[in-house]
Structure 1
Amino acid sequence: MAAHLQQGLHGICAISITPFLEDGTFDAKGYRKNLSYMIKNGVDSTNSVIVVGGSTGECGAMSLNERNRVLDVALEFGDRLNVVAGCNSTNVDDAIALARYAQDNGAIGAMVLAPYYYPAKDRRSILEFVKKFAASVDIGILIYNNVEVMGLDMPVDIIDELADIENVVGLKECTPSCYKMGRSADIAGARLAVVNGHGEFLEPMAALLGTTGFISSMANFAPRQSAAIWAARSRGDFAAAKEIRDQLRPYMDLAVRFSGEGGEYKVISLLKHATDLVGSVGGFPRIPCPTLTDEEKAEIQRAIANCGLI
């Protein structure tokens, strides 16, 4: 099963949002619609994995039971999607419980952050957390180096050691340094799949750094474009991949601005509204993701229109 995840990370690592109704409950019907939309438009088990209940899926705003419920719905599509459970938690036992549930119910892998409440400046904090997590399950593990959440950029020597753990088969590398991303691939790439954690923003340039694929939150509203970028990249046609990626610049420009104004919480709200605009279900954000103003929604609509998506 670990090999299944590692193989799947040679492609798109789609990061799914979690739609909520106005009363805050999980919109299972809407989520099914979103997953069907991705599959219909070319993001499926042939070229991708899909992460469920990760940071972009608002895992920090859900209970463990809710996260398992979201996973249950995604696993209904297990014949067409390679489902990876987001298992981020500050509590290693909760992370393990999520991963065991995922393993028992058919997910191909689990994504986990190293400790992130306080920055794990002592290497033992990261290594002990991940080693305990990995020893508790048999499915493949995708390590998530989220610098913004963790408060530090996981050093390459730690990545090197984690890559020796048998079922650690992937690294979602969100370092702000392209050089570091390349070094992670140089040092650990023979043992695990190093995925460009900045998505289409760094494509297809990240291919030259040795990454095996890229994450895509844009697959929620632009799956056809994400699939086309991957197809062009995988055949070595970087000019075509960049041309498709550049069509998404109006959205990317707005995402960069929103991130500067309100951090990733505001970007999630942006992403959810963009998903609504293309006919899927972004739904309502949960606190602390902000409710967008009418002016912000109008800006998003213009950006999505300028991308040629509506």
Structure 2
Amino acid sequence: MFRGSMVALVTPMHEDGSLDEAALERLVEFHIDSGTDGIVAVGTTGESATLDYEEHCYVMRRVVEMSRGRIPVIGGTGANSTWEAIKLTRCAMEGGCDAALLVTPYYNKPTQEGLYQHYKAIAEAVPLPQILYNVPGRTACDMLPETVERLADVPNIVGIKEAQGTVQRAEEIMERCGERLDVYTGEDANAREMMLAGGKGVISVTANVAPRLMHLMAEAALRGDAEEAGRLDAQLSALHKVLFIETNPIPVKWALQEMGLIGGGIRLPMTPLSEQHHETLRQALKLAEAL
């Protein structure tokens, strides 16, 4: 359903932590102009954990309005409460999102049966295309391939963002689910390899600051051009690493501020990037021609 480089969009804020709508519109236009293949609004990179319910729904709706049908918009609607996730997913649908991205419940550490019932309940409650999101390093919850295979039979569950960290995990899901479920990576560092292996795209942090290169790299990988994808990815490899030198989205928000696209706002408990990392990130941006 969705293909290529989809940006896990940051939520721009003023220094006091309030939403910066002018900067949000700048980012949407930046991605449309740069060829980004889709926008994820208020995913985990968008600080979903520290936006309240009204803000969350508002930002998703505004990104849809700003996009004006020029680019697919996926709303980040995951929560560790099934009922809250249903409410957010319904909000995404009513706001015009093309799909929802739902991170596994964090902290609760549900069983595999609990994960199956959680996602099945959301999909049955809201008739919007839905993408599962597995990122055990952030949630302490790993959704196993056999559970994903069961969920692939739910009609409006259309894909998974797999960020367990290995291409082998993504390949196992692809083998189990076939054409029933599209597989995307959430790991920029293995995006090229995963797409060459049959994945459909990447939901990317790096695309926030190097959208054109990420789009071109994904395009090359999806058509099977390993040489061109590798050449482009070599320019991006430093960013893939340095954008996680502190907890995401701290580095990527600093990078976007350095590029003049957003202000310096970030919500506690996240804090601005430590000064000791500024030059390292600045050099990675230059290598990727983002500065």
TM-score after normalising by structure 2: 0.94
Q: 1:131 aligns with which of 120, 123, 135?
A: 120
Aligned to 1:225: 213
The code of the aligned residue for 1:85 comes to G
Q: 2:255 aligns with which of 274, 288, 294?
A: 274
In 2, distance between residues paired with 1:194 and 1:306?
29
Following superposition, the deviation at residue 296 of structure 1 comes to 2.4
1:142-168 deviation per Cα after TM superposition (whole angstroms, max 9, x unaligned)? 000111133132111101100000100
Aligned to 1:3: none
Aligned to 1:93: 83
The code of the aligned residue for 2:209 comes to F
Is there any run of 5+ residues in structure 1 with no aligned partner, and where? 1-6
Partners of 1:269 and 1:289 within 8 A in 2 = yes
1:132-186 deviation per Cα after TM superposition (whole angstroms, max 9, x unaligned)? 1111111100000111133132111101100000100010011223222100011
The code of the aligned residue for 1:126 comes to L
Identity level (%): 27
Following superposition, the deviation at residue 292 of structure 1 comes to 2.0
In 2, distance between residues paired with 1:127 and 1:153?
12
Following superposition, the deviation at residue 197 of structure 1 comes to 1.8
Q: 1:68 aligns with which of 34, 47, 57?
A: 57
In 2, distance between residues paired with 1:152 and 1:92?
15
Partners of 1:16 and 1:56 within 8 A in 2 = yes
Q: Does 1:14 align with 2:7?
A: yes
Q: What are the residue-to-residue correspondences of 1:116-265 with 2, within 5 Å?
A: 116-120=106-110, 122-199=111-188, 201-256=189-244, 258=245, 262=246
Aligned to 1:298: 279
Runs of 4+ deviating beyond 3 Å: none
In 1, distance between residues paired with 2:119 and 2:25?
32
The code of the aligned residue for 2:123 comes to A
Partners of 2:210 and 2:288 within 8 A in 1 = no
In 2, distance between residues paired with 1:34 and 1:302?
22
In 2, distance between residues paired with 1:286 and 1:221?
20
Partners of 2:137 and 2:164 within 8 A in 1 = no
Query: Structure 2 vs 1, CA of residues 124 and 203 (structure 1 numbering), >3 Å: closer, same or farther?
Result: closer
Partners of 2:105 and 2:139 within 8 A in 1 = yes
Following superposition, the deviation at residue 93 of structure 1 comes to 1.4
| Alignment root-mean-square deviation, CA | 1.6
Partners of 1:195 and 1:211 within 8 A in 2 = yes
Partners of 1:17 and 1:282 within 8 A in 2 = no
Following superposition, the deviation at residue 214 of structure 1 comes to 1.4
TM-score after normalising by structure 1: 0.89
Aligned to 2:42: 53
Partners of 2:152 and 2:180 within 8 A in 1 = yes
Following superposition, the deviation at residue 107 of structure 1 comes to 0.8
In 2, distance between residues paired with 1:290 and 1:174?
24
Following superposition, the deviation at residue 105 of structure 1 comes to 2.1
Query: Structure 2 vs 1, CA of residues 282 and 131 (structure 1 numbering), >3 Å: closer, same or farther?
Result: farther
Q: What are the residue-to-residue correspondences of 1:21-36 with 2, within 5 Å?
A: 21-36=14-29
In 1, distance between residues paired with 2:61 and 2:155?
27
SS of 1:204 mapped into structure 2: helix
Following superposition, the deviation at residue 300 of structure 1 comes to 1.9
